[in-house]
């Protein structure tokens, strides 16, 4: 299915609705989705907002990529409100730049890209590990370090928990439930 103007408008609206109205106004968020002039089967998305602490400005500890990373991560994870559930954005090219008030580019905004990678990759790595852990427990071969992984995810010191979307948290909890059931069954069999 080739994209059309309606799909672009729907995507634009969904990207806007992935953040609060207050954030849109306060950070002057601008979203534009249009059919790519280079490839009519692709949509180009341009997202701009004011840079704030956490976007790479100021101290660089615990930068999460800010508002832009949040918006793009929602699209990549397939969790855009007002958009077909489960439809994900596939990124073929990502540029993140700081620009001056006159619009001229000042330099790459690497912390936005890093924040986006943290929001998308870290939860997926944990979820894949959990799936492997459940499979191994089901076969009676528990994976060492499973409980430490749960502690790592939930620890306030790591800050990993806030990287998970609602859907990813549900998947994590379901995996942990399944693991615990298999663990209890395994213990019951070994005690009899």
Q: Of all residues in the chain, what percent carry a pLDDT higher than 70? A: 90
**What pLDDT, on a 0 to 100 scale, did the predictor assign at position 173?**
95
Residue 103 pLDDT exceeds 60: yes
What's the rounded mean pLDDT across residues 166-191? 92
- Please, which contacts does 30-38 make with residues 24 or more away whose CB atoms are closer than 8 Å? 31/71, 33/8, 33/9, 34/8, 35/3, 35/4, 35/5, 35/8
* Of the residues 114, 135, 162, the one at which a domain ends: 114
Backbone torsion region of residue 58, taken as left when φ is above 0, otherwise alpha when ψ lies between -120 and 50, otherwise beta: left
Residues 99 and 144 in one domain: no
Looking at the structure, do residues 29 and 68 belong to the same domain, yes or no?
yes
The pLDDT assigned to 62 comes to 56
Same domain, residue pair 138 and 98: no
The angle that helices 66-76 and 5-16 make with each other, rounded to 10 degrees, is: 130
Whether residues 25 and 106 share a domain: the answer is yes
pLDDT score of 192? 78
Average pLDDT over residues 15-44: 87
pLDDT at position 94? 80
105 has pLDDT over 70: yes
Instruction: Give 61-85 pLDDT, tens digit per residue.
Output: 556 777 788 888 888 888 877 666 6
Are both 88 and 133 inside the same structural domain? Answer: no
23: helix, strand or coil: helix
Q: How confident is the model at residue 127 (pLDDT cuts 50, 70, 90)?
A: very high
Predicted TM-score (pTM) of the model is: 0.76
Range of the structural domain that residue 109 is part of: 5-114
Residue 87: the pLDDT is 67
- Report the pLDDT averaged over residues 146-163: 90
Q: Which residue has the tokens 């998305």?
A: 45
Mean pLDDT over all residues of the chain?
84
15 and 69 fall within a common domain: yes
Count how many domains the chain has. 2
């Amino acid at each position: 299915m080739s994209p059309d103007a309606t799909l672009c408008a729907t995507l634009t609206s969904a990207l806007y609705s992935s953040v609060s109205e207050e954030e849109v106004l306060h950070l002057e968020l601008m979203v534009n989705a249009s059919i790519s002039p280079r490839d009519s089967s692709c949509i180009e998305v341009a997202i701009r907002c004011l840079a704030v602490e956490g976007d790479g400005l100021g101290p660089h500890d615990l930068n999460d990529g800010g508002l832009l990373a949040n918006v793009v991560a929602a699209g990549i994870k397939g969790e855009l409100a007002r958009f077909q559930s489960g439809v994900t954005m596939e990124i073929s090219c990502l540029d993140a730049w700081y620009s001056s008030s006159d619009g001229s580019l000042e330099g790459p905004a690497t912390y936005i890209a890093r924040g986006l990678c943290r929001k998308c990759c870290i939860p997926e790595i944990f979820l894949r590990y959990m799936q492997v852990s459940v499979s191994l427990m089901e076969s009676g071969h528990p994976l060492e370090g499973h409980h430490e992984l749960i502690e790592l995810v939930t620890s306030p010191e790591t800050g990993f928990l806030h990287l998970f979307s609602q859907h990813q948290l549900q998947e994590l909890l379901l995996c942990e439930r399944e693991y615990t059931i298999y663990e209890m069954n395994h213990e019951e069999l070994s005690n009899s």
